[in-house]
């Protein structure tokens, strides 16, 4: 087993797998949904940067563990007008809030989540999801959100996996 950096070639949560292209080159690496779920995500955006542990199997190279996922390059800002005048540093310093996905429709390009302890819906746009390195959300999925009050109500500026948010808040040793 060894660690490699690469990019997600594609991932289909319905099929339950996708492939990673290593920065070192070589054959595509299978990324199974169970390995991604162990990292705390049910999907990952195409072209997202990814650090994985891989092993050779009878069927080729496979990811056995996801260590890190970075949003796809080139997605800097948001296509949403609500963020047009926002201070990016201020948005990044907004605390992560634990939430559960109410519903998300990839075809419509948006969905809603509920922050724990609050009855308010938080709007989640597909561009925010992509910028966060995700491709889709499942109803009931636990996530962490950075939330701002937009022109039409509360909306997510970042969506993180539950596990990555917990590790972000953990004290450094």
Distance CA 28, CA 79 (A): 31
Cα(7)–Cα(47) distance, integer angstroms: 5
> Does pLDDT of 40 surpass 90?
no
In this structure, what are the phi and psi dihedrals at residue 36, rounded to the nearest 5 degrees?
Answer: -65, -40
CA distance 84 to 41: 28
**Fold observed for domain 2-70:** OB fold (Dihydrolipoamide Acetyltransferase, E2P) (2.40.50)
User: Looking at the predicted structure, is the pLDDT value of residue 84 above 60?
Assistant: no
81-169: CATH topology:
OB fold (Dihydrolipoamide Acetyltransferase, E2P) (2.40.50)
Q: Where are the domains of the chain?
A: 2-70, 81-169
Mean pLDDT value across residues 106-113: 86
pLDDT average, residue stretch 82-108? 78
pTM (2 d.p.): 0.59
Could you tell me how many residues make up the chain? 173
Structure tokens at 8: 């997600």
Higher pLDDT, 70 or 140: 140
Question: Of 7-11, 59-63, 82-86, 114-118, which gets the smallest average pLDDT?
Answer: 82-86
């Amino acid at each position: 087993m060894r660690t490699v950096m690469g990019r997600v070639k594609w991932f289909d949560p319905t099929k339950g797998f996708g492939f990673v292209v290593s920065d070192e080159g070589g054959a595509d690496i299978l990324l199974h949904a169970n390995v991604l779920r162990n990292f705390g995500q049910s999907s990952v955006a195409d072209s997202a940067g990814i650090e994985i542990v891989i092993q050779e199997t009878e069927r080729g190279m496979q990811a056995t563990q996801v260590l890190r996922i970075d949003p796809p390059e080139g997605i800097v800002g948001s296509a949403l007008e609500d963020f047009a005048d926002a201070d990016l540093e201020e948005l990044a310093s907004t605390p992560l809030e634990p939430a559960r996905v109410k519903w998300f429709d990839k075809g419509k390009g948006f969905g809603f989540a509920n922050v724990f302890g609050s009855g308010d819906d938080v709007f989640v746009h597909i561009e925010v999801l992509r910028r966060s390195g995700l491709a889709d959300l499942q109803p009931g999925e636990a996530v962490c959100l950075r939330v701002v009050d937009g022109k039409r109500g509360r909306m997510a500026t970042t969506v993180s996996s539950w596990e990555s948010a917990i590790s972000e808040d953990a004290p450094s040793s």
